Every structure is written in structure tokens, then in C-alpha cells.
Amino acid sequence: MNQPRVSVIIPVRNGKDYLQEALDSVLLQSFTDLELLLIDDGSTDDDYSRYAHQDKRIRVIHLAGTGVSRARNVGMAQSRGDLLAFLDADDVWFPGKLQAQVNYFDAHPKVGVVFGKFIRWQALPSEAFAPAISLMQDAGNLTRADPERSGWLYTRLLDGLLVGMNTAVVRRSVYETIGGFNEAMRQGEDYDFWLKASRVTEMHSLNGPVALYRIHGASAMHRLSSDNHLVNLLKAAAMRWGLKTFNDQSLTPRSFDERLARVYFDHAYAHYWHGDRVIARAAFWHALQRGHRPLRCLAYIALSYWAGHARPSHH
């Protein structure tokens, strides 16, 4: 086999309902010099080996249900491309995405990560999803970077800039420098990976959307935990690397505190409506101590005592 230019890594666990749309969006890319590593992480809903018959570029690797970070790490370790691209099994790339990113890498040899914007793909009232084809945009003509989302991004990532996993392509040299995803993390492992990448290379975002991100009950956005993983991750990053980046961009301690306050507030709000009111109350206090939306924090704190642990019947 010739060495492909791009390795596409798709972890999947019991994802047969959506997987074919994801695969098609890769296999129908105008850029064809790729391999597709489908990492079956202990699925029980289908025989994933059969997907290898669809296209000679597909390789299926079976794991025993070890988690998405391990699945991506195994994919990267077994990949052969100079560029590594990621897609989740329920998301979809736009036509022309890969060609636009490869062209950008070729024109900007110092850039180590090229990503793009994504469009949230909400379920219809019937809980079905509009077909991907009806929402497609051509990403092939994206040639410029969005300056607000490009450069040495460490401080902007700390401050909340989001890199969609399914939009990003990474040079192998960056992966070899920083290593893979932290398999011990239950949430935020992709954010942690981008923070590490942002310390060693410039990251540029194309100035338009390149993918659809499917929003449903199982999405990472909907996973609630008693621990505030994001606050812990931000504090650890600031302790390890500080609040500065290489071109003297920096985040003031005040700005960083405001970022933590927003994260505490979001954690509190999610728990107030969908989780544990006691956890919500503590997080609202943390946000309040940092001066974030004091009236709303106080109101929710008061309500949390009144309502106790009960979950509301409606939002």
C-alpha cells in the first residue's frame, strides 16, 4: 500500500444508526489520497468488520470498549498519513473540506493544526434529523483563515475558543511532539489535547464551516458530572503554562477569573435544572465570589434552598 497523505480516524461505539452518513462524507471527499481507520470500541449493535468491504481505503480496528481517547490514540498510532483528521461517528464533513485543509497546509508550512467552524445539527421535533445532504455547504472554496481564531491560540483557548474535534486536521509532527489524548480524563480530553498543541504550533481556522455537529441526548454537551472537569482542566493548564503565549499575547488574571466564573455558572445552571441542586448551589457561590451575574447567582442560590434536591418538572 502506498502511504496515504491523510489518515481519518473515526471512533465508534454502537453507532450504526449514524455511521454510514459519516463514512460517506469522508469517502466522497474530492481529496481522495486518504485512509479511513474505523475504530470499533466494543460495539454490540453491528458487525463493524463489514464496513471494510465498502472501500479499500477503510481499515477496521477492534477494541474492547476502552473509551474514545484510547480509540483515537490507537487510530493515530496505527495511522500512516502525514496529516491526521478526526470525525465522530455521528457527525458529517462538508464536501471539499479535506482539499481546502490540505491546500492550506501546503501554503502554510509552519501551521500545525487547521480546523474550521461547525454547524450544530439539531434534531427535528420528531427527534429524527434532517438528512445531512440537505444541510451541506461547499467547503472547497475556503482558502483564508479567520484571524480571530488563528495564530498562537493558547490564551484564546483558555478564554473559551472552541476547536471542534470533527473539524480539525493535525500534522503528524505535532502528534509526535505532544503525544495522544489523555486516557484518564472522562471529559475535556479534546480540549486538553488542543491546549497542548497550542503550546507547540500555530493553529489556524478556515473562515467558514466545514462540518455538522449532531446534537442529541448522548452528545458530550449533555453529560453531567458532579465534578467540574472544565474548571479543573483550566486551573491545571494555568498552573502548568501560565497565562501567556509566545507572541506576548496574554490573558490577565482578571480575565481568567471571569472565564472560571462563567464555567462555574454554566456548571451550576446545568445542575440546577437537570442535576443536583446542592452541587448547583456550591457552583453558583463560586461564580458569585468572582462577581459573575450576582443577582442571578443570588436568586438561584436562594431557590436552591427552597427547592432542595427536587428536579423541576419543566425548564
Residues 233, 208: one domain? no
Would you say residue 310 has pLDDT above 50? no
The pLDDT value recorded for residue 128 is 86
Residues 266, 144: one domain? no
What is the pLDDT of the chain when averaged over all its residues?
Answer: 91
Residues 215, 233: one domain? no
pLDDT category of residue 314 using cuts at 50, 70 and 90? very low
Residues 296, 182: one domain? no
Mean pLDDT of the region 29-42: 97
Would you say residue 61 has pLDDT above 60? yes
Domain boundary among 163, 195, 220: 220
pLDDT category of residue 275 using cuts at 50, 70 and 90? confident
Residues 39, 109: one domain? yes
Does a structural domain hold residue 197? yes
The pLDDT value recorded for residue 264 is 95
Residues 274, 215: one domain? no
Supply the CATH number for residue 90's domain.
3.90.550.10
Does a structural domain hold residue 195? yes
Phi, psi of 28 (to 5 degrees): -95, 10
Determine what percent of the chain is predicted with pLDDT higher than 70.
Answer: 94
The pLDDT value recorded for residue 315 is 42
What are all long-range contacts of 19-26, with beta carbons under 8 Å and residues at least 24 apart? 19/51, 19/89, 19/90, 21/92, 21/131, 21/132, 22/87, 22/88, 22/89, 22/90, 22/91, 22/92, 23/51, 23/54, 23/58, 25/87, 25/92, 25/93, 25/94, 25/95, 25/132, 26/87, 26/93, 26/98
The pLDDT value recorded for residue 82 is 97
Question: 173-228, pLDDT tens digit by residue?
Answer: 999 999 999 998 877 899 999 999 999 999 999 999 999 999 876 544 456 788 88
Residues 252, 176: one domain? no
Does a structural domain hold residue 315? no
Would you say residue 309 has pLDDT above 50? no
Does a structural domain hold residue 313? no
Residues 39, 56: one domain? yes
**Total domain count, the chain:** 2
Residues 108, 197: one domain? yes
Would you say residue 172 has pLDDT above 90? yes
Does a structural domain hold residue 165? yes
Would you say residue 274 has pLDDT above 90? no
Does a structural domain hold residue 312? no
Would you say residue 87 has pLDDT above 60? yes
Lowest mean pLDDT among 9-13, 55-59, 229-233: 229-233
Does a structural domain hold residue 116? yes
Residues 16, 119: one domain? yes
The pLDDT value recorded for residue 122 is 87
Short-list 225, 235, 144, 252, CA closest to 192: 235
**E-assigned strand segments in the chain:** 6-12, 34-41, 58-63, 83-86, 92-93, 111-122, 169-171, 202-215
Determine what percent of the chain is predicted with pLDDT higher than 90.
Answer: 79
Give CA–CA dist 105/82, Å, rounded.
11
The pLDDT value recorded for residue 223 is 62
Does a structural domain hold residue 314? no
Would you say residue 158 has pLDDT above 80? yes
Mean pLDDT of the region 86-113: 97
Residues 117, 159: one domain? yes
Which residues constitute the domain of residue 47? 6-220
Residues 79, 186: one domain? yes
